[in-house]
Each structure stands twice: as structure tokens, then as C-alpha cells.
Structure 1
Amino acid sequence: MPGADLPLLIDAARMAGRIATSFSGARAQRWDKPDGAGPVTEADLAVDRALHRTLTLARPDYGWLSEESEDDTERLSREHVFIIDPIDGTRSFTEGANTWAHALAVAERGEITAAVIYLPLRDLLYSARRGGGAYLNGVRVHASPVAAMEDATILAAKPALAASLWRAGACPAFKRAYRPSLAYRLGLVAQGRFDAMLTLRPSWEWDIAAGALIVAEAGGRCSDRHGRDLVFNNADPRLDGVVAGGCPIHDAVIDALDPVATR
């Protein structure tokens, strides 16, 4: 039901934006999650509750996977699953920055069929449904055609530049940029603002699911760090790194990475 799910996700994302922006960013109550898993705020939890209530009421037969909800393995038996990050970039949110995002997706038997990334403070709404193209604020977007690493600007954290991670024993000479939200990085790649993005650490499905479809529908490719297709709604909802970009530069990055390097 990707055609019907996308308007639902868009409406829910805009609702999430209204809720999140009603909190005061840096002054929102904050806690640190156990085991160094990062911060969470009262805004994250309020958005998560509202999205769960709204989306599961509209689709009671869909499963639920969210960063801020206790995982229920019953989702593994569902044909359709919502995969949600209530606020991707919580640190940015607490700092009062405008680069945090809401990321909402629907997976059908492991494949993303509808997706939204919404940055309320930048008025950016990326959206896609399977087979329907990718859009930013209603305008069609396309991934970059750049093919050569030396011509590319790639969104990556500094640890991904370590020489030991690359076949040649040195990081290729691409230009590096960074944004704190993984979902936003994927939206920027789909938009063609940047040629590619990569993260070589294990990545949570809720950070990646929406952007993976948006990049693919923009004519790009999103895979794990070995170039394998992504499958969602796994028992362990972590992916083995992520590489996304226009198809030529995606393949160039995969070819340049050392497949046996440790992170």
C-alpha cells in the first residue's frame, strides 16, 4: 500500500515537527541512555508517543520499530512495519541547531515502500514511494552523476577516513563534508547536493530506512559497506555500515573500501 502510506507518513511527519518545535531545544529535559547510546529528550519521547498512536491507529496490522520504543519482536511476524526515528540528531536538537530530522518509513517484507525525512526548522521534506520517484518539497530530485572519487564531495565522519579502511592503504582524495543527522545526509545525497555519504559503523535501521528509499528513487544506490542490498526489519535492527550515492560514485566507493578492514 505504498501509495496510501506516503500521505499518512507526510502528515505524521508534519505533526511530529509541530510537537518537537513546541519544546525549547537546549532547555528540553534530557537524559543519557545506558551504555553510551547517546542522549534522549522529552521531545523525542513525546514525538514517539504521538507517532505510535497516530500511525498504529491508521494501520493496526503494521508492526512497529522505533529508536525510542521498547522493541517488540512481534514485529518480525508482520508483513508491514513502521520504522521510525522520532528525532534523528538529538544532540543537534539539544544544541538549538536546525539540522535534526524526523525519519519515517514503511517496510514490506524487508523492503522500504514509503519514506519521509522532515527537517521542520529548515522546511525540508524529502519523500518517496516505491516506483514513484523522490521529491523535496514536492519537486523531483536526482542523485549526483559524478563518478570519480577525486571529483566527489562525500558526507562522512572523520573515522571513515582512516587509511586502514581503504584498499590502497590511504583514503582516496575526495572532499569531505559532514552533517550530524544520518537521515539528513541521505536526503542531501538524494537531492544531489552531495555526491555520496558513508558510515562504516553498525547503523540502526531507523536512521537509514527512510533515506535508503529516497536515494534509490532519486536514481542512486544505498547498500551496506560491502555493497550488499539492505534488508529491513531484522531481529537485530543494525546494518553493517551504509554507503549511498549516485550509482557511479557508490560503486567507486565500494571498490575503494577494504572489505576485510575492521572499523
Structure 2
Amino acid sequence: MNLPPPLDPVRHALFLDFDGTLVELVDRPEDVQIAPHAVARLAAIQTACDGAFAVISGRRIADLAHLLAPLRFAAAGVHGLERREVPDGEVMPLAGPAALDAIRLVLSIGVTEEPRLRLEDKGTGLVIHYRGYPELEPVARELVTRAVQDEPGFSVMRGDNIVEVHLAGMDKGKAIAAFMTREPFVGRVPIYIGDDTTDEFGFAAVKALNGVSIKVGDGLSEADFRLACVDSVHRWLGVEPVTGEDSMKEAS
């Protein structure tokens, strides 16, 4: 495994995916949790990097803000269709939910007909989940394909137990490239860590900027470096492991 170099907060800008990178994947995305001491470490990294820190996720920024509270951070959500350029700034949607209304209707009917599928509505993106039912992958793909049909201007992406559709023209890589043109990111060497096929756009963007691309887990990837799992990401970030006593304190 080609392990990544250590983070240098003086010269690096750090971009992190969330699910599968900072937290383990779970059947219900709303059930995910991140330990308070891990959030505290991210806050310390953000300070050390002079603010050149952002979360780049398929989740909505509002959900990320809740999960990572009290940390305030720059972010791109829904694969870049939402953006918060500064930690205390407003969330700027780059597209409205109404454009997906026709597709939303077809997907809603589809998950009613096959209740083992689950529809997640992000407003600017729609996701069909089939986690726990891998045999439904072709059903999920066919449903999204049928919903989109030949409508122009939409992008369909396949990820870990999901099929997602949103307006075309934005992805995680373009979001990272946009951040890198602004302070405090400009002039730094970008690092991006992600685990899924949708993160390949991010890897390509940082490689184009002579940055550091880090894939979490197995599978084909354009990333130059690897970390084995979420725990490996935490160790690379310097998140201290929790002892049994510390775990009880965090849970209380």
C-alpha cells in the first residue's frame, strides 16, 4: 500500500470526504455519528492550516453542520451543488430543487413499488439507496435510468450501494478547484481524501494541481496514495484512539 505523506499544515490545504472517510458507512445515513474528540482534532487541523480546510461531500451542508457540530467549516455539499465558502458564511445553492420534480415523481413511485429501495431527497439531488439488498442494484439502476430517460442536463452517478441523479455541470473536483482559487486555499498544495467512485473527480482535480490524492479502502482508483479504512484516516489525521474509559466519558 502506497501510504500518503504526513499533513503539513503550513503548506497543505485539506479537503475531506465524509461518509466512508471520516465515518463508517451505515445502512441509514442519518444514524451516523462521529466522536467528539475526532471533531476536536478536525478543529485543531483547521486552525493549524490557517482555515484551509473543507469538507466535500454528497450530503447536504446542513446535515454535515449538524453531524460535525460545534465545528464550523467551509464545505461543498451534494457533490458541489451547494457551497459554503467560509465557515460562518451562507450556504449557496447552485441549483433549485424544482428542476428535479419530474424525476422525483418517478423515483417516488418506484420506491413505493419496491419498498426495500429508499429514496433520499437532498433537494438538489436524489439518491436511491439499496444498502443491505445488493441484489437490487440492477433494479435501482433501471429505476434511475427510467426516471432520467433522455432528459438533458442531468448527471447520474453510481456509488457504494447508491445511484444518484442531480443536475449536471458540477462534481467534487470542480468544487475543490473553485475553493483553490480563493483565500485561504490559494497557493497551497491540496490534499483530498475520499473512498467512493464519486471521489475520483476530486482525485483528478488535486492531481491536476500537483496535490495529494488519497483513496480510502480497496478498488480501482486514480489516487496516488491509499489508506486502508476509516481508522487509518483517523490515525493519519492524528485522532487519538479512544480507550474504554474515554469511550464511556464521550457517551455520557
Q: Same fold (TM over 0.5)?
A: no
Q: Given the two structures, how large is their TM-score scaled by the length of structure 2?
A: 0.26
> Which structure dedicates a bigger proportion of its chain to strand?
1
Higher relative contact order by CA 8 Å / sep ≥ 6: 1 or 2?
2
